[in-house]
Amino acid sequence: MSGEKGGHDMDEGRERLLAGSKKYIEQVLGRLVFRISANSFFQTNPMQAQLLYNEVQKAAKLTSDDTVLDLFCGTGTIGLSLAASSKHVVGIDIVASAIEDANENAMANNIANVTFEQGNLDKVDAVLKGAGIPDANVVVVDPPRAGLHPGLLKFLAQCQAKRIVYVSCNPVSQVRDLELLEEKAEGRFRVSSIQPVDMFPNTPHVESVATLERV
């Protein structure tokens, strides 16, 4: 999940620190430490989050030559988890505080092969061109519950990546988008695997990691 989950209607300018000296909390996942501010989304079940990111890592099948495009990157959890296995990771999210946290997290963990940019992924072509972001070999998307914007679906269907990893907290919108992606790609991508992860035991809610391979 990312910094955009559920939408953001909080006014960052109205934040007040009531006690202590830090305006953020820290969470450890594996060997990484993440800074999380009030408006930045983070997984509510850290133990299962680590299992989720392990599944993303397996699905991405990265090599040291791969450039990864991490869309809806939030505080950089997925992108930073993939950085050690790739040449470079570029993360994009619309939430300014999430991108600030992502950059701080990269520095705190001494990870240099990452770039985080703020941008509206409903207009992905303009965002990528404006930032001068190179073509990616692997794309990871972790959208809000509503799923992917039609413009982003079109971009993904036409991209030159060898693999797309779609992480979702809503299997209904994920299945819809996977079907649309295959249709729009006109045979260039096919779903090769779907792996659910139980993030909230004793509830019907799961995260799901789907992989589309170029054929």
57 labeled part of a ligand binding site? no
Say which residues have a Cβ less than 8 Å from residue 4's Cβ, sequence separation at least 6.
41, 72, 74, 93, 94, 95, 143, 144
Given the residues 80, 136, 169, 210, select the one marked as catalytic.
169
Strand partners, 141: 71, 166
101 labeled part of a ligand binding site? no
Could you tell me which of 55, 32, 36 has the C-alpha nearest to residue 44? 36
Query: What is the spatial distance between Cα 93 and Cα 119, in angstroms, rounded to a whole number?
Result: 6
27 labeled part of a ligand binding site? no
| Angle, helices 171-185/150-158, rounded to nearest 10 degrees | 50
Say which residues have a Cβ less than 8 Å from residue 177's Cβ, sequence separation at least 6.
147, 148, 153, 166
198 labeled part of a ligand binding site? no
User: 98-136: string of b/e by CB count within 10 Å (b at 16+)?
Assistant: bbbbbbbbbeebebeebbbbbbebeebeebbeeeebeeb
Could you tell me which of 145, 147, 157 has the C-alpha nearest to residue 122? 147
**181, containing H or E segment:** helix 171-185
The letter for the amino acid at 37 is S
159 is catalytic: no
Positions marked catalytic: 169
Annotated binding-site positions for S-adenosyl-L-methionine: 43, 72, 93, 142
Annotated binding-site positions: 43, 72, 93, 142
